[in-house]
Amino acid sequence: MDYYQCAIDDLHTEIRRRGRKPTGSPDRLSELLFEDDERRGADATTVKTEGLGIYVPRDVNLSRTAEFGRTNPANLLLNEKIVYWTMNTFFTTLQLFFASGRSCTIDGSRLPDGVLGLDPELRFRLTECTYEEEGCITKTVQPDKFARSFKGLRIREAVVAQRTSVAIKMNTSQREVQGSPLSASVIARDVHTVVGLRLDGMKEISYVWVRSGAVVSQDNRVWGDVRIAGLRNDVAPPVLAFPLHTLKPG
């Protein structure tokens, strides 16, 4: 995120929250925060994550998009084995394909210009055997020689949670504070719904989230809500195990 237009007091507060000493010019502090974001990803901007259970909040459920189907409780994903996935293809979604023949969509498309993202541990677990082709991140989670088997990454835990994250927003105030120049941006906080997964080989739950890709969002909302949707029978297990043709998700 771009911290360069933020007030020095905001920069000091955020630097302290991340456990560092706030020394240096505003530009230097902005660089430190930006570098920390690049290195740690969502871990750097997360203030706290609190569990909600298996259901999304009512307002998130009511704001769902019709094309991805109704919202599903998180516990329906337990013990499913992920064998294939795609992310941010045509929509702001993460599509999971399971060995059972079912699939689901983790939907973050309600946020304009949104980009779906993963916490570092979850991203590492899914992308160990993944590559990017033509702008689409897509690959079986198993090496090619095991692609025809029913092996996959089992979902051990699945939850819905509410996360508080740092957000850079336009300063809508018209007042100067203690004679200081009015800053163009402020460091605020957004509360948003995330979906948490713990897969085989993971010690803790990591989360799927969505953030605006715009430098400054039109409605001043940086983080959006995600939900689990469209759980359905997609590919019959025999076809998945012994495909006649190359399978392409979506």
- Angle between helix 8-17 and helix 26-40 axes, rounded to 10 deg: 40
Return the pLDDT at 66: 55
Q: How many residues does the chain have?
A: 250
In sequence order, the 6+-apart residues with CB closer than 8 A to the CB of 148 are 241, 242, 243
- Average pLDDT over the chain reads 80
What band does 149 get if pLDDT is binned at 50, 70 and 90? Answer: very low
What band does 52 get if pLDDT is binned at 50, 70 and 90? Answer: confident
Contact 154, 146 (CB under 8 A): no
- Other C-beta atoms closer than 10 Å to the C-beta of 126 total 22
Report the percentage of the chain scoring pLDDT > 90.
45
Return the pLDDT at 226: 93
Return the pLDDT at 67: 62
Mean pLDDT of 111-130: 84
Mean pLDDT of 109-124: 89
Domain ranges of the chain: 1-40, 41-241
What band does 145 get if pLDDT is binned at 50, 70 and 90? Answer: very low
pLDDT tops 60 at residue 139: no
Mean pLDDT of 236-245: 47
Mean pLDDT of 49-66: 73
Lowest mean pLDDT among 54-58, 61-65, 85-89, 145-149: 145-149
In sequence order, the 6+-apart residues with CB closer than 8 A to the CB of 129 are 139, 140, 141, 142, 143
Return the pLDDT at 205: 95
CA 48 to chain CA centroid, Å, is 15
Angle, vertex CA 156, rays to CA 139 and CA 236, nearest 5:
50
The 3 state secondary structure assigned to 189-202 is EEEEEEEEEEECCC
pLDDT tops 80 at residue 15: yes
Return the pLDDT at 215: 60
pLDDT tops 50 at residue 146: no
pLDDT tops 90 at residue 116: yes
Return the pLDDT at 188: 92
